[in-house]
Each structure stands twice: as structure tokens, then as C-alpha cells.
Structure 1
């Protein structure tokens, strides 16, 4: 009977055999908790109809188990040495439904997929998450640093409420699934991690004063600039935050922007109300409302 080797022992053995020393600074923290691995994979509800995208597969901790359940796995690994170890491992295990890509996941074009399951390299958490949301998919099960995960779903007025929370609001539903302790990885990170479910959503319009406004790509692009400008100064009033970060929304001249804001306030009491509120207390809908009312001037 074949002896069952724990995930921790298996991972350490593969690393030792290949003389690999993991680099925490590159986000190389490998999951060694088999219970958590099973939970992550179960959250994805995989079937033989699913094509799964995995970012940062490492030596295949998730990849091999995903491949057993899905139609296909697309695994993108930047580290060439690790990529080659995984390639050999898949060949040894006779797994032929994994498409391996050696490259930077933030830069490479993704093939088609409908689900994402990844223990993400934490230093690319933000850019890779927004890249995901430019694609159509059903569900993502993603591991993040817990602090980052908290900010993804930050509530208005709390310290977790951030640019990230406001940006994701119109793009995805974010659900906290489980916490993962540092002891579940080698090397152990200094922080807790969290598994998050991400489901794309499509809010394509917003109602302002009984009028429906479309939220198209251009509007969202402007919204992202307004959000960035506001959250540079999250505790300031929105008016002052926009003026202080005017370069982000395309203004060099402070007087010009002040004049535009004054005119808009005179025309629309609602704008004045929003601009006098502190950034941290502005709901995403209010920021979008401000964006739409300002859009023609930006």
C-alpha cells in the first residue's frame, strides 16, 4: 500500500530535491495545510465543464488537485526554475490538462477561462485583481493578505474603507470565506491570510434625481480617477481632496478647478452636499454621482 505523505512533507521534499530556497519578498509562501487546500478547492465547486485560471501555481500545490476536478487548468508561473519543476511534476503524474505559461501574469494575455483559483503572490494583489475584472468569468476563489482582503470589502466610514473598496464596489461582489494562519505556509508570512470569493457584477446605470445615467467604460475610467484623487486625502472634505489632487483628474491650475466646483455647486445643491462630506464618509454611489455630475468638466 502506498504511504500517504502529508502536504507539508511533500512540499519540503520537492523543494529540497530541487535545492529551492523560497523568497518571501517574491510572495513565495507555499501552502502546506491540506485541510485549507481542500476547503479552497471545494469553494470553487469545480466540474468537468470548468476551465480554471491559476496565478502563481508554484510547485503545483493547488494545480494538481484542480486538474483532477476541472476540464482544464491554465497555470501562469513567472519563476522559470519553479515553472520547470512544475512541468516535470505534471509529466511524472501524467497530468495532461494543464496549460503552463511561463510569464508575468500582470502582463500576459489570459486564454479563455470561467473560474479562477489562486494563492496569489501578495505583491501583485491589486493589479491582478483589477485585471481579472476585465474578463468575463463565473467565480474566483482567491487567497490574499488578510489586511488587503479587509480593504476589498471595507464599509463606508471604517478604517478599512479605501480606494480599493470603492473601485471594486461597481465591479464585483466580495465575500470573506475563511482566515488562514501564517503556520499554514512555508516560509511563514508575518501576517494572516484570507480566502475570498469574487463574483463579477454589472452595475451599468445609476439613478440621480429620478434620471437614469449609464455607467459605461468611459464613466468608470473617470470614476477611477476621481476615486484615486479623493482617497489620496481620505480624511479631508471631498472638495479639498479634489483640489489637492487636481493633477489626477487633469487640472494643473488650482483656481480653474475651484471656479468649476463653485459654478457646479451654484447650479446643483447636491454637488455642494457631496463636496462638503469627508472622503471616508462618501459611499461609492455618491462618488459615482459626483463623477457623473463632474464628468463633462474633467
Structure 2
């Protein structure tokens, strides 16, 4: 980072943290963006207008929040750290910004107020559960920053090391597009790996909510044992998809007459596509939950 503008943002951030005696804990995902150019780029990706209500998770001292609020109708800003939240509240007051609803709570435990876009530098340690939570809400666009390795798993191709529950879940819900990488030098404290900004654009419903719920359970069960064959993975994670005991579940799986289903049960989890997992969930769920 060599630009004067980024140096200024870095100085402002460090000054605020030092003034309040804040020592950031990168193990809690407290990595604050200090590159103004990247901050502005992230905000521009959101294509914000005066009608947008933006959800931001993990606001920190407001590096994104304040600039987003200048463009949007409203910002719903969620920050778990009480002291950081108080600092942001004071900054908003000093800046005379009154269109931010600041929530001091754990984003994983609160019901989100109504919003239509998400723009966040997410706390790394909640990347997976918060992304799954987003899928339960209707939104137009999400611009999200993740650790680079996590972002690569979001579009993981079947049969590769990046193919995961995450990529299988997102497949039916969102188009995922990589927008830009962000160097570890752009944060304080400096994280160990680089980050990636992605956009999530919801797909029109391809499957019903009920089918997706069943699919979600099967996907979770399978990827808990990603290197096992599907039959064994389902048996070992049976508590996620059925109330049957192990003996009865094996009995019902052995009684399946469909050769197509039987062939899938012999395959390993990582070589089966989302469409095939959906097919299996529709075929097997009634057998295990009649």
C-alpha cells in the first residue's frame, strides 16, 4: 500500500484503536481493512442507491459502514464487540449519520431486520455459518469478503478438494462470482492469508423450500464424511436425516430396489453432483421417514 489515501485510512484506524486502548484479536476475525482503494472498490461493487437497505456483519469501527450510509437509505450494522460498538456509535454521532441501525449482538443469533443487500468484511471465524444463514433470507445482492481459501470452496467443482457442503448448498441458491483479491497487507492486524471479495446473486427458485430443506440435511450428512461412500456416510450421519437406529436404517437401504439409487450409494461423496444429491434425497428420504 503506497497511496496517500490508504495511508490516511490506516492512520485514522490505528489512531482510533490506540485512543480507546483496543487490541484487535485476529483469532476472532478482527482484521480491519485499511486500504481505502479496496474499501471504495467493495462499496462500488454493491451498486448502492438511495433505496437500498444494507446489512453489514462485523462492522468494526465503521470503515465500510460510514461510507455505505452516505449512499444508502439505511444500514443495519451488527457488531458483537461491545466496546467496538460504542466507538462506532460515537463516530456515527460525530459524523451526524442517523440512518444506521446499530445492533450490538452475535449475528448468528439475531433475526435480521428487513434488508435487500449485504456488504460485509465478514469475521473469518463465522464465514460458514453466517453464509448458510444468509441463504434463509431474500436479498438482491451480497458483496462479501472471505479468506481466499474459503472463497475458492464456494465454487468448488465436483471431484476436487474444493468441492464441499458449502459449494453444494450455494449451487441451488446463488450465482457466486469472484470479484477481486485483497492482499493481507490491506488489514490490521495482518492475517496469515489473502482475502477474496465475491458477489452472491440469488437464483430464481429451482426447487421448493421443502425439497431444499431435505436436500440441505442430506448434504450436511454426506459432507460430514466426504471421503466415504454415500451409503456409509448416510448411516454414520443418520441422526441428521432420520430417527431410525443403525440396524433399521441399514435394513431399509438394503431393501432399495432401484438400481440407479444403488449405484449412487456405492460412490464416494465428493464425486456426486448437487443434482445427484438432490435426486438421492428425493428418492431416499421417503424410505427413511415413512
TM-score scaled to structure 2, two decimals? Answer: 0.93
Task: Give the equivalent residue in structure 1 for 2:43.
Answer: 41
Per-residue deviation, residues 256-276 of structure 1 (Å, max 9, x unmatched): 222212222x2x122122112
Which residue of the partner structure matches residue 237 of structure 1?
Answer: 229
Residue 264 (structure 2) aligned to one of 274, 283, 290: 274
SS in 2 for 1:6: helix
1:172 CA drift (Å): 1.4
Inter-partner Cα distance in structure 1 for 2:150 and 2:195 = 9
SS of alignment partner, residue 69 of structure 1: coil
* 8 Å Cα contact 1:54/1:76 also seen in 2: yes
Please show how residues 144-223 of structure 1 align to structure 2 within 5 Å: 144-205=146-207, 215-217=208-210, 219-223=211-215
1:65 matched residue in structure 2? 67
In structure 1, C-alpha distance between the alignment counterparts of 2:225 and 2:133, rounded to whole Å = 25
Deviations 1:88-145 (CA, angstroms, capped at 9, x unpaired): 1111111111111111111112111111100011111112112211111100000111
1:258 matched to 2:250? The reply is yes
1:166 offset after TM fit, Å?
1.0
Measured after TM superposition, the shift of residue 252 of structure 1 is: 5.1
Give the TM-score of the pair, scaled to structure 1.
0.91
Match of 1:134 among 136, 140, 145: 136
Mapped partners of 1:228, 1:97: distance in 2: 39
186-195 vs 167-176, which moves further: 167-176
Pairing 1:70-109 to 2, within 5 Å after superposition: 70-109=72-111
What is the deviation of 1:195?
Answer: 0.6
Are the counterparts in 2 of residues 54 and 116 from structure 1 also a CA contact under 8 Å?
A: yes
Measure the CA separation in 2 of the matches of 1:238 and 1:19.
52
Question: Could you give the per-residue CA deviations for residues 152-209 of structure 1, whole angstroms, max 9, x where no partner exists?
Answer: 111100000011111121121111111111111000011111111011223343xxxx
Pairing partner for 1:24 from 10, 26, 43: 26
Structure 1 residues without counterparts, runs of 5 or longer: 206-214
- 1:224 equivalent among 216, 232, 243: 216
Whether the 8 Å contact between 1:251 and 1:257 is mirrored in structure 2 is no
Select which of 239, 246, 257 maps to 1:247. 239
Asked whether the equivalents of residues 57 and 63 of structure 1 are also in contact (C-alpha less than 8 Å), the reply is yes
Say whether the 8 Å CA contact 1:204–1:216 is kept in structure 2. no
Q: Which residue of 113, 118, 124 corresponds with 2:115?
A: 113
Provide the rounded CA distance (Å) in 2 between the counterparts of 1:216 and 1:34.
40
SS of the residue corresponding to residue 124 of structure 1 reads helix
RMSD: 1.6
Give the number of aligned pairs.
284
